[in-house]
Amino acid sequence: MRTLPMLCGCLLVGLAPVAWANGSMSRPMPSMPRVDTPQQKAQAAYNDGVHDAKKADKAQAAADAATDAGRKDKAVREAHEEYASANAKFREAVGLDATLPEAWNYLGYTNRKLGNYDEALAAYAKALELKPGYADALEYRGEAYLGLSRIPDAQQAYLDLYAGNRALAAKLLTAMKSWVAAQRTGGVGAGTAGASTAGSGASLDDFDKWIQERVQIAGQTAALTRAGTAAAWR
């Protein structure tokens, strides 16, 4: 008869709550909270740090562009707070996983923005130890050398970059031009050594001349590269 299976099914359904209540069937295990590894926590801290660093860069750009003193001061304070927040998160990241060159590089970047040049150089050194030839770290370190008026080191950083990453070499060269201009006017970014470069015996004019020579060489090289590319299409 066809009614018996249906009746049995109804009985089983009706008895199911009793079976669970009596413990005669296995209960589902409660879900366990997720436990992240130190590496995952480090990555999360790094991502949060990058977010704060970008906010700081935006605030710094606003400060640089501001003409009103009140707005400039507010943007400068905001940038400093965001750089400090990012710096703390990058410290957390490398504390959890010391093998992240990107976190060490950003730790150097935020330290430099906060004026902690020696700490910045130590962080860049660690990033380059983990990732030799790391172009971003080389460029950032070159800017840190400028902040300390270590001009021969900054020049070498440019030459190292020029051999492998022309775009970042050009960025460092632009920073050098800004540094020289700040030295002449005594403005922000003037560094620590005044009109003469630290430890080199070279004058500011010598460094400026060197920069102009690099600009000319870069322009000539770019022109030759463009000409070669055009010739290849003929």
Residue-wise pLDDT for 146-202, tens only, equals: 999 999 999 999 999 999 999 999 999 999 999 999 999 876 555 544 434 544 445
Q: Are residues 103 and 159 in the same domain?
A: no
Nearest to 96 by CA among 53, 44, 47, 134: 44
| Residue 93 within a domain | yes
Query: Residue 211 carries which side chain, given as an amino acid letter?
Result: I
Tell me the residue range of the domain where 77 lies.
Answer: 37-116
What's the number of domains the chain is made of? 2
Last residue of a domain, which of 73, 90, 116?
Answer: 116
Among 116, 142, 177, where does a domain finish?
116
| Span 120-136, average pLDDT | 97
**Segment (H or E) for 109:** helix 101-113
**Whether the model pTM is above 0.85:** no
Give the per-residue SS3 of 48-69.
HHHHHHHHHHHHHHHHHHCCCH
**Tens-place pLDDT, residues 71-113:** 999 999 999 999 999 999 999 999 999 999 999 999 999 999 9
Q: Which of 66, 83, 116 is the last residue of a domain?
A: 116
Considering the domain architecture, whether residues 106 and 160 belong to the same structural domain is answered as: no
